[in-house]
Structure 1
Amino acid sequence: MSAPLLQVDDLAKHFSVGRGFLRGSDTVKAVDGVSFTLERGSTLGLVGESGCGKSTTGRLLMRLLSPTSGRIRLDGADVAGLRGAELQQFRRRVQMVFQNPSSSLNPRQSVGAAIAAPLQAQRITPKEGMKKRVATLMDRVGLRPEHYNRFPHEFSGGQKQRVGIARALALEPDIVICDEPVSALDVSVQAQVVNLLQDIQADTGISYVFIAHDLSVVKHFADQVAVMYLGRIMEHGTRDEVFGAPRHPYTRSLLSSVPSPDPSADRSGRIRLVGDLPHPSDPPSGCVFRTRCPVLPLLDESRRRECSERVPVGDAACHHLDAAADLGSRIDTSEERRVHADS
């Protein structure tokens, strides 16, 4: 069996954040022990609510940030500590599409120059000439090549994101990290961009790490899904496993929150999380989800203590998957039974 294209082991990124004059600093654990693999030609969907660390994970994979600890291996070679020319060579193989197409493009640079920039940075001169190569890339993503000299403000949001995709494809990378590439776009345009990414994957065999908070988009696009919460992966599995038979209570709560287009749909099974998301500078001990977990009130004292003392491991990082399995039928939504952040 061949090795995965990308392998991430116990990846962590901690930031030191000052608390104010003479007050010292806190350590924010933005990413705290993330592990997964990405196969050639496949898509990993990385999902979770805002602040869970998924975008920081994407920047670590791209090496826009240096990891605090852990390994990132591309074709078996550790790239976490690359510098200089070796890092530049690595970026030929890993590129990124950013969330906001307007802020990721230089307003004073034509779209043709933006797409050509990666080739120039890597000192690559296409045989057919730079302008023709850029025109081919523009055509590939559904843009008119004769608009080479136009500027970003002359394009719609969807067209600007197509420019970003063309720029990411310029070096013919093995992996493209898509950091919420459709969240800033209209719903009608989102489908066009997702279909474009899928067509490119079918034609080239490229691999994606697709970061999103829109579960419906991930369900349509990803082969594997990793659900993040407070810097850690709560559940990891195939798309059918995570969406068809979720095991972790956090995954169940996310999926239950997806709105239904049917106004008569039964909403009684919706799982509501209470309390605020803990600050990543002071995460809960043991299971980081325990302060908001709807399963905890259903457990006896010894099992609750286990959640606070040990870090759960596995594809579904929960100590009590047996109790979570029938969460929808057993959960009591009364105020007395809810779990609060100070429990």
Structure 2
Amino acid sequence: MSTPLLQVEDLAKHFAVKKGFLRPTSHVKAVDGVSFSLERGSTLGLVGESGCGKSTTGRLLMRLLSPTSGRILLDGTDVAGLKGRELQEFRRRVQMVFQNPSSSLNPRQTVGSAIAAPLHAQGVSPKEGMKSRVASLMDRVGLRPEHYNRFPHEFSGGQKQRVGIARALALDPDIVICDEPVSALDVSVQAQVINLLQDIQADTGISYVFIAHDLSVVKHFADDVAVMYLGKIMELGSRDDVFGRPVHPYTQSLLSSVPSPDPDADRSGRIRLTGDLPHPSNPPSGCVFRTRCPLRPLLSEEKQQMCMQNAPSGAVACHHPSDAAEFAARTPQERTLHAHP
């Protein structure tokens, strides 16, 4: 069996927060024990609500942040301790497309210079010449040759994101981490950018880690999906399994909240979460989702204690997946009637 291109093992990032004089320092557990793998030529979708740790995970994979613990393996080599030339080579193989195309481009730098920047940083001198290489990248992402000497403010949001994609592709990377690359764009432009990314993958065999909160985009684009909540992965599986047969109550609630284009659609089956999202500096004991879990009131006292005392693990981070499947099949009235006292 071949080694995955990228393996992430029990990855964690905790940020120290000073509370003041004579008060103890707390730690925000932005990412807490995340594990997954990425095969060559495939796309992993990383989804979850705001503040769940998706973007922090992406920055850890890119080595823009150093992990508190855990391992990131690229072709079986741990990249956490890389320095100097080895780190430079890693950055050539792993690139990133940022969420906001306007803030990720230097307003004083022409588009041609921005796309050529990674090549200059790595000391790469293309055989065909720098300008020809940049022109080829611009053509690949749908930008015209006359755009070469223009500045970012002269472009639309979709065009700026195309510049960001061209810049990420400049070094022919193995992996591109896409941090919500279409969330700031109009819906019609989103489709164009997603189709562009898919065409590039079909042509080059590149792999993507696609971070998003829009489930419809992930369903269209990803091969595998990891659902995050409060720094942990709640459910990990193929796209068909996660979207077609969700097991974890959090995944079920996320999917039930996806808007329907049909104004007459029945919305009674929507699973609504109660309570506020706990702060990452003080997550609940045991299962981090237990304070908002719609399944928990239906469980016996013994099962509820299990949720409080032990942290679940595995592809589905739930102590009671069979109960969750039964819960999802019930009507809203049945969920209320079967609530455990």
Alpha-carbon offset, residue 315 of structure 1 = 0.9
1:133-172 to 2 correspondences below 5 Å: 133-172=133-172
Secondary structure at the counterpart of residue 225 of structure 1: strand
- 1:55-98 CA distance string (max 9 Å, x none): 00000000000000001000011101112221111011000000
Structure-1 separation of matches of 2:26 and 2:166: 40
Letter in structure 1 aligned against 2:62: M
Structure-2 separation of matches of 1:48 and 1:18: 28
Gaps of at least 5 residues in structure 1 are none
Structure-2 separation of matches of 1:84 and 1:137: 28
1:48 aligned partner = 48
Q: Confirm or deny: 8 A CA contact 2:268 2:332 kept in the other structure.
A: no
Q: Does 1:261 align with 2:275?
A: no
Secondary structure at the counterpart of residue 195 of structure 1: helix
Secondary structure at the counterpart of residue 182 of structure 1: coil
Q: Does 1:117 align with 2:117?
A: yes
Structure-2 separation of matches of 1:330 and 1:306: 26
Q: Does 1:20 align with 2:13?
A: no
Secondary structure at the counterpart of residue 91 of structure 1: helix
Structure-2 separation of matches of 1:167 and 1:17: 35
Structure-2 separation of matches of 1:194 and 1:186: 12
1:202-221 to 2 correspondences below 5 Å: 202-221=202-221
Secondary structure at the counterpart of residue 92 of structure 2: coil
Structure-2 separation of matches of 1:15 and 1:335: 43
CA gap 1:280/1:17 in 2 versus in 1, 3 angstroms: same
Gaps of at least 5 residues in structure 2 are none
1:319 aligned partner = 319
CA gap 1:335/1:91 in 2 versus in 1, 3 angstroms: farther
Alpha-carbon offset, residue 254 of structure 1 = 0.1
Q: Does 1:63 align with 2:60?
A: no
1:188 aligned partner = 188
Structure-1 separation of matches of 2:263 and 2:256: 15
1:11 aligned partner = 11
1:38 aligned partner = 38
Secondary structure at the counterpart of residue 272 of structure 1: coil
> TM-score, with normalisation over the residues of structure 1?
0.96
Q: Confirm or deny: 8 A CA contact 2:269 2:332 kept in the other structure.
A: no
1:279-290 to 2 correspondences below 5 Å: 279-290=279-290
2:238 aligned partner = 238
Secondary structure at the counterpart of residue 268 of structure 1: coil
Structure-2 separation of matches of 1:104 and 1:326: 46
CA gap 1:338/1:210 in 2 versus in 1, 3 angstroms: farther
Query: Could you tell which deviates more after superposition, 185-194 or 84-93?
Result: 84-93
Letter in structure 1 aligned against 2:286: G
Alpha-carbon offset, residue 123 of structure 1 = 0.4
Alpha-carbon offset, residue 20 of structure 1 = 3.2
Letter in structure 1 aligned against 2:106: N
2:174 aligned partner = 174
Structure-2 separation of matches of 1:128 and 1:319: 58
> How many residue pairs end up in the alignment?
339
Q: Does 1:276 align with 2:276?
A: yes
Query: Could you tell which deviates more after superposition, 17-26 or 67-76?
Result: 17-26
Kindly report the root-mean-square deviation, in angstroms, between the aligned alpha carbons of the 2 structures: 1.6
Secondary structure at the counterpart of residue 50 of structure 1: coil
CA gap 1:125/1:245 in 2 versus in 1, 3 angstroms: same
- 1:116-158 CA distance string (max 9 Å, x none): 0000000000001001100000000000122111000000000
